[in-house]
Amino acid sequence: MISDSDKLQEIITIDSDLNKIQDQDILLERILQVARRLVNAEAGSIYIVNDGKLEISYSQNDSLQAKLPEGQKLIYNIFKIPINKKTISGYCAKTRRIVNIEDVYSIPESAPYTFDPFYDKVSEYHSQSMLAVPMLSNMGNLLGVLQVINKRAGSEGYEPFTREDELLINHFANNVVITLERAQMTRALLLRMIQMAELRDPKETGAHVNRVAGYSVEIYERWASKKGIPDHKIQKDRDNLRMAAMLHDAGKVAISDIILKKPARFTPEEYKIMQHHTIFGAKLFLDEQSEFDKLARLVALTHHENWDGTGYPGYINLETGLPEKTDADGQVLGRKGKEIPIFGRIVAIADVYDALRSKRSYKEAWKEEDVLEELRSLSGSKFDPEVVECFFEVYPQLQQVAQRYQDQEAQ
């Protein structure tokens, strides 16, 4: 059993690790993992305030996870609840008080909140002890609610969360809010850049780039795990990749409106001009200050390269704009196979998948089964076959990403 002093020391160490995470989604997932470990909770959820409601951001459950095939993640519904006193998390958010319940099925009738057993029935799980803690900024603003479920008691069974658990989780929640606020600010800055691109290209929406980024992270995690890449590198790459994938088409801001907003197919000349958005985007990150800059440059430059070498822009010197490799006819050579960085290969399929399944001003959304068949048919030509395989292995997680980041008209 870890002593309370050791747990406090662990929080200090964890704070340092969490401060290295820049992306909001990656951070929230990690916060919930750490919070559960600190109080030995089998399950938990983290809610973030969004449009005046609590939106579930991540949910974890070790018992249900253990029933899934290796490598598959727990799928949960994305939903919002009002900030009022009727639910446990809503009450915690409304009153900004810690809520510690010994048994959610024995809540007295006099309590203002109730427990909805619907999800227990659907998942065949039994919630018992529950601890909900408000996440408050230094200014007293509510950021969300951290909720842990079923404190383990030995090898089996559950026990109530203690007063010490309350203090520990509350201390942890208070410590991470600064990190969370910084991650939210980073996300906001990225989305503002996307909004600038959206003014030029209506296809480049915040929902689209968040979906492409979310798909890319899930595909990469499966690919990296199969390759035996160490977990610490996977976690670092996930953080940078998610942000880099959001900016994959940032170079479109340098393309003429006449081309970007054309509601018809491009002429060969127009298509050639459009291809330059990969180079313009990569140039934004030439002054490399971090691993993120390097990864963002690779993604922007190579997410339209094809596995068989027929993509673009090919081997171009970013500083001079001149070809670095040409064929016998003097045409620039495209990158081929594993010459394309893995991050470019992954964002390529994530981007095409989302484009095909999304409605646009110039086309209707494809049926899902037609999209999947198209991706299969392009394995080995446009896409890396291994990446396509990983795509289908994590397909349930991709559907959850799509549910989280729906287009405005679909919500």
174-213 per-position pLDDT tens digit: 889 999 999 999 999 888 888 776 666 666 677 899 999 9
User: Where is pLDDT greater, at 166 or 17?
Assistant: 166
Establish if 247 belongs to a structural domain: yes
Instruction: Please provide the average confidence, as pLDDT, over all residues in the chain.
Output: 91
Containing domain of residue 368, as a range?
201-410
CB 46 within 8 A of CB 145: yes
Report, as an integer, the average pLDDT of 101-108. Answer: 97
339: CATH: 1.10.3210.10
Same domain, 89 and 212: no
Establish if 187 belongs to a structural domain: no
The residue out of 116, 151, 182 marking a domain boundary is 182
Same domain, 270 and 151: no
Residue 16: other Cβ atoms inside 10 A: 8
Same domain, 19 and 137: yes
User: Where is pLDDT greater, at 219 or 250?
Assistant: 219
DSSP H helices, 201-317, are: 206-226, 231-246, 257-260, 268-274, 277-283, 291-302
Confidence check: pLDDT of 9 > 80: no
- Pair of tokens at residue 145: 């609610």
The residue out of 150, 182, 214 marking a domain boundary is 182
Establish if 193 belongs to a structural domain: no
The burial class, CB within 10 Å (0-12 / 13-18 / 19+), for 144 is buried
Report, as an integer, the average pLDDT of 320-346. Answer: 93
The residue out of 151, 182, 213 marking a domain boundary is 182
Same domain, 272 and 391: yes
Same domain, 151 and 210: no
Q: What is the crossing angle of helices 342-357 and 206-226, to 10°?
A: 140
CB 74 within 8 A of CB 65: yes
Same domain, 209 and 168: no
Supply the pLDDT for residue 8: 64
Residue 150: other Cβ atoms inside 10 A: 26
Q: Work out how many domains the chain is built from and give that number.
A: 2
Question: Cβ contacts of residue 242 below 8 Å, gap of 6+?
Answer: 23, 25, 26, 213, 214, 216, 217
Max CA pair span of the chain:
83
Q: Is 174 left (phi over 0), alpha (psi -120 to 50) or beta?
A: alpha
Question: Cβ contacts of residue 311 below 8 Å, gap of 6+?
Answer: 304, 305, 334, 335, 382
Q: What is the crossing angle of helices 4-18 and 163-200, to 10°?
A: 10
| Separation of alpha carbons 30 and 192, rounded Å | 25
Establish if 190 belongs to a structural domain: no
Same domain, 51 and 157: yes
Confidence check: pLDDT of 170 > 80: yes
Same domain, 150 and 229: no
- Tell me the pLDDT band of 310, cut-offs 50, 70 and 90: very high
Q: Which long-range contacts (CB under 8 A, 24 or more apart) does 38-41 make?
A: 38/7, 38/10, 38/11, 38/168, 38/169, 38/172, 39/131, 39/148, 39/151, 39/161, 39/165, 39/168, 39/169, 40/151, 40/152, 41/131, 41/148, 41/149, 41/150, 41/151, 41/152, 41/161
Same domain, 326 and 396: yes
Same domain, 230 and 294: yes
Establish if 23 belongs to a structural domain: yes
Report, as an integer, the average pLDDT of 33-44. Answer: 95
Supply the pLDDT for residue 264: 75
Q: What is the dihedral of CA 17, 396, 75, 226, to 10 degrees?
A: -40
DSSP string, 271-299: HHHHTTHHHHHHHTT-S--SHHHHHHHHH
Range with the poorest average pLDDT among 172-176, 210-214, 240-244, 399-403: 172-176
33: CATH: 3.30.450.40
Same domain, 293 and 164: no
- Catalytic residue positions, numbered: 252
Establish if 189 belongs to a structural domain: no
Establish if 195 belongs to a structural domain: no
Same domain, 284 and 406: yes
